[in-house]
Amino acid sequence: MRAGERAAPESGSPRHSRQRPLSHQERVDLALLALPTFALALAITTVSTQLGEVTRRYTHDPIVIGSIIGAEGLMALWVPLIFGSWSDVLRTRIGGRLPLILAGGIPAAGAVALIGLLNGIGLVAVASTMFFLFYFVAYVPYRAMYPDMTPDEISGRAQSTQGVSRGLGTGLALLGGGLLLSIGRPVPFAFAALVLLAALGAFMRLLLRRGIPDQDRGEAQGPREVAHSVAELVRSDARLRAYFAANSLWELTLAALKAFVVLYTVVGLGYALSTASLLIGGVAMVILLGAGVAGKLGDRFGRPRVVRVALFGYGAGFTALAFTTNRVVIGACIPFIALGGGTVMTMAYALLTPLMPNAQHGALTGFYSLSRGVGIVLGPVLAGVLIKLTRHNLFSGTDGFQAIWIVCAAASFLSIPCMQVLARR
């Protein structure tokens, strides 16, 4: 296929298609790519979940808390498109992606450590915003390495590996974040910084030993030209428009959940912070099951089909939680939410890769993160507004935090029709 030509979409693949086994080199590459995923997921989850608890020391206004956490989405609206497209055309001795991964990852580690050391809501907000900025500088060029290093026929399984690694990082942050925070405020943030630095160092060393992957090179473009080019692609392809809407809604769900789930468990349900961390971490481990099987099922039965089924269970679980705080019902809903979340986390990027022109992996990865940014901005803010509106009436028993499930359920169900569009050839 010529550079710049779009790969044939997989989304309409026949049912029960036979999968070839992964080669040794493909297994090695997937293990290598999992390293940054684990560290970046641990860092971003530590910040997005524990930031609510940290800022609650200075304010109890959920809209303010949601806005600070939602700064992640503001960075995602512009940083990924610029640095993703730059990684497509950058030429250095160590490739176009790795220099940007290091240029973002190292300062991100410094910023996350500062969150635990600074006092005052203003300084904490600045440090967290800087972390989100550098996180996306590193994340998008790294994520663009997946289509560089893995053929589309194994994309689902590649995303399963990535999903499991992301789930491990997320789970460890959820499980240990509250426990470490109870020891001392700087501890979880310092731990995340150390893990990120160690993972980036190992990734760089192993990648250089393996050899920098080849990239299809695009023509050098400025941010305005890149934005125009991506906009033209989106205008010409209904599947890209459907994908943007669906991924924005999924990220809205996850962002609202991450921003307030700790406060829902601690304030709304009355659990101690350490107990809440253990419970939430246990749920995150169930997510790994969904992440582990989703890619294989997606490669076999079609990715939109698998995601559509998972979304019905995902939305139903959230809907039930909006109407009850009964512990038994909550326990019954958790598997549906965890498995649905694992599937969505795993398959989101795999749904996009068949639609990517070869020379624009970075730019379309920026498009992916742009769609994430919309959801990340809206999720915590919408949830914060609804919490504030219901904390003294409808959901007074949980101080309003039960309202997050309404936001999550609505976004999940609204994304289902998009899967029908993505299933078209």
For the segment 16-32, the average pLDDT, to the nearest whole number, is 72
Q: Give the type of residue at 388.
A: K
Token pair, residue 93, equals: 């001795």
Q: H-helix or E-strand containing 215?
A: none
Whole-angstrom Cα distance, residue 362 to residue 80?
9
Say if residues 128 and 68 touch (Cβ distance below 8 Å).
yes
Please report the pLDDT score of residue 161 as a whole number. Answer: 77
Token pair, residue 332, equals: 């019954």
Whether 218 maps to a domain, the answer reads no
Please report the pLDDT score of residue 20 as a whole number. Answer: 65
Token pair, residue 418, equals: 């998009």
**Per-residue pLDDT for 361 more than 70?**
no
Q: Is 260 helix (H, G, I), strand (E, B) or coil?
A: helix
Q: Give the type of residue at 174.
A: L
Please report the pLDDT score of residue 14 as a whole number. Answer: 42
Whole-angstrom Cα distance, residue 365 to residue 371?
10
Whether 15 maps to a domain, the answer reads no
Q: Give the type of residue at 3.
A: A
- The pLDDT tens digits for 150-176 are 776 676 677 667 777 887 888 788 777
Whether 14 maps to a domain, the answer reads no
Taking alpha carbons only, the member of 240, 2, 288, 29 closest to residue 151 is 29
Please report the pLDDT score of residue 387 as a whole number. Answer: 94
Please report the pLDDT score of residue 226 as a whole number. Answer: 60
**Gyration radius from the chain CA atoms:** 20
Whether 178 maps to a domain, the answer reads yes
| DSSP letters for 60-82 | --HHHHHHHHTHHHHHHTTHHHH
Q: Is 357 helix (H, G, I), strand (E, B) or coil?
A: strand
Taking alpha carbons only, the member of 265, 219, 259 closest to residue 398 is 265
pLDDT band of 303, cuts 50, 70, 90? confident
Q: Which residues, other chains included, contact 409 with Cβ-Cβ below 8 Å and sequence gap of 6+?
A: 315, 318, 319, 322
Say if residues 349 and 368 touch (Cβ distance below 8 Å).
yes
Taking alpha carbons only, the member of 43, 68, 38 closest to residue 53 is 68
The CATH number for 274's domain is 1.20.1250.20
**Per-residue pLDDT for 72 more than 90?**
no
Whole-angstrom Cα distance, residue 304 to residue 348?
10
In which residue are the tokens 């986390």 written?
A: 345
Whole-angstrom Cα distance, residue 225 to residue 368?
17
Whether 17 maps to a domain, the answer reads no
Please report the pLDDT score of residue 109 as a whole number. Answer: 96
Please report the pLDDT score of residue 225 as a whole number. Answer: 63
Whether 88 maps to a domain, the answer reads yes
- Averaged confidence pLDDT in the chain: 81
Number of domains present in the structure of the chain: 1
Whole-angstrom Cα distance, residue 46 to residue 79?
21
Q: In the chain, pLDDT over 70 holds for what percent of residues?
A: 84
**Per-residue pLDDT for 11 more than 60?**
no
- The pLDDT tens digits for 243-272 are 999 999 999 998 888 888 888 888 888 888
Range of the domain at 136: 24-211+227-422
**Per-residue pLDDT for 220 more than 50?**
no
Please report the pLDDT score of residue 373 as a whole number. Answer: 82
pLDDT band of 110, cuts 50, 70, 90? very high
For the segment 286-302, the average pLDDT, to the nearest whole number, is 71
Angle between helices 24-55 and 186-210 (to 10 degrees): 160
Say if residues 163 and 294 touch (Cβ distance below 8 Å).
yes
CA distances from 216 to 28, 230, 355 (A): 22, 17, 15
Token pair, residue 108, equals: 């991100």
For the segment 207-222, the average pLDDT, to the nearest whole number, is 68
Whether 18 maps to a domain, the answer reads no
**Per-residue pLDDT for 396 more than 80?**
yes
Whether 217 maps to a domain, the answer reads no
